Amino acid sequence: MSDWISLAAGQSYPAGTLYVVATPIGNVADLSLRALHVLGLVDAIACEDTRNTGQLLARLGLQRPLVAVHEHNEREAAGRIVARLAAGERIAYVSDAGTPGISDPGARLVEAARAGGHAVVPLPGPSAAVAALSVAGGLLDTGAGRFTFVGFLPSKARARAEAIAGLAGLDHAWVLYEAPHRIAETLAALAEGLPGTRRLLIGRELTKLFEETPVLSVAEAPGWLAADAARAKGEFVLVVEGAAAVAADGAPDAQAQRVLDLLLAELPAKRAAKLAAAITGAQTDALYRLALARRGDDGAA
């Protein structure tokens, strides 16, 4: 073990540098050895919440001065930290959990340090998004491994539904964060706004005692949550499969065809194809061709 720590200690950690340190998202043992070393050697640790970080340090057996840098004071606090970097101090920045800057503060401080001519060094580690993606398996197949990180959806129902409609057509997976008090609404909105067969991974309480990572269809997800009242108490990251709505022969899948047929009963072909594409994630061109074929016309609609 001591050999591993000396590997972390053997690297040089220049003065006047901001160290951006990822911290555990649940299990304290996920802190990296380099992070442990750097948190012990810096002159101060800037953090989102001094109480939270104080508890982490106590568990690690470390004591360092803490400076509060949260969403509401990040700009002013950044100025004071840059002055300390200029005086040659080493400062670490940690958010409450996971990787700073990922749906967390940190970006302003990093900008200020760079603008002041100081080196900014990342110490990589846990992030709920990457942890969930690492067990998403075949959900990443549609986009050949590509994904979009979305973070939190808007909290208002209409804006959330619009955001989902905008994401529905992505041909690759997307990653959402959600708070326990909104998870039921978000799963319901996904079931409403996506084809029911679209799969998602629910990463609940990752790295913690009640960790679960079921893969379900979006239609099943609200029922899964409701089946056990304890489930809603937890932290959630969702990986939603990308639209695979075009079959190998280029035809929209059965679900997309059903939606198109319903819309064609009310709307011109072009409008029906566009709306069906937004709802199902299938490609507009393929739907339009199908709409014309259904109508038996030649493209005049």
Which residues touch 115 (CB under 8 Å, ≥6 apart)? 82
**Is residue 205 a contact point for ligand SAM (CB under 6 A)?**
yes
Please tell me whether residue 152 adopts helix, strand or coil conformation: strand
Q: Which of 19, 93, 236, 288 binds ligand SAM (CB under 6 A)?
A: 236
218 binds ligand SAM (CB under 6 A): no
Strand pairing category for 119-123 and 17-21: parallel
Report the C-alpha gap between 221 and 215 in whole angstroms.
9
Is residue 74 close enough to count as binding ligand SAM by CB under 6 A? no
Q: Is 206 in the site for ligand SAM (CB under 6 A)?
A: yes
Task: Select 4 or 210, whichever has its Cβ closest to ligand SAM.
Answer: 210
Shortest reach from residue 175's CB to ligand SAM, in Å: 10
Residue 294: how many CA atoms within 13 Å on its side-chain side?
22
Instruction: Please give the Cα distance from 168 to 194 (Å, whole number).
Output: 6
Binding mask 19-48 for ligand SAM (x = CB under 6 A): ------xx----------------------
Write each residue from 173 to 192 as x if it is in contact with ligand SAM (CB under 6 A), else as -, in one continuous string.
----xxx-------------
Residue whose CB is nearest to ligand SAM in the complex, by number: 98
**The two three-digit tokens of residue 186, written as one number:** 């978000």
Q: Using the rule CB under 6 A, give the single segment among 11-19, 72-80, 91-99, 139-147 that binds ligand SAM.
A: 91-99
Stretch that binds ligand SAM, among 38-46, 66-74, 80-88, 99-107 (CB under 6 A): 99-107
**Complex with ligand SAM: residue 98 or 193, whichever CB lies closer:** 98
Residue 97 is a binding residue for ligand SAM (CB under 6 A): yes
Tell me the pairing of strands 215-217 and 199-204: antiparallel
110-139 residues near ligand SAM, rule: CB under 6 A = 127-129
- Cβ neighbour number for residue 138 with a 10 Å cutoff: 9
Footprint on this chain of ligand SAM (rule: CB under 6 A): 25-26, 95, 97-99, 102-104, 127-129, 177-179, 203, 205-208, 235-237
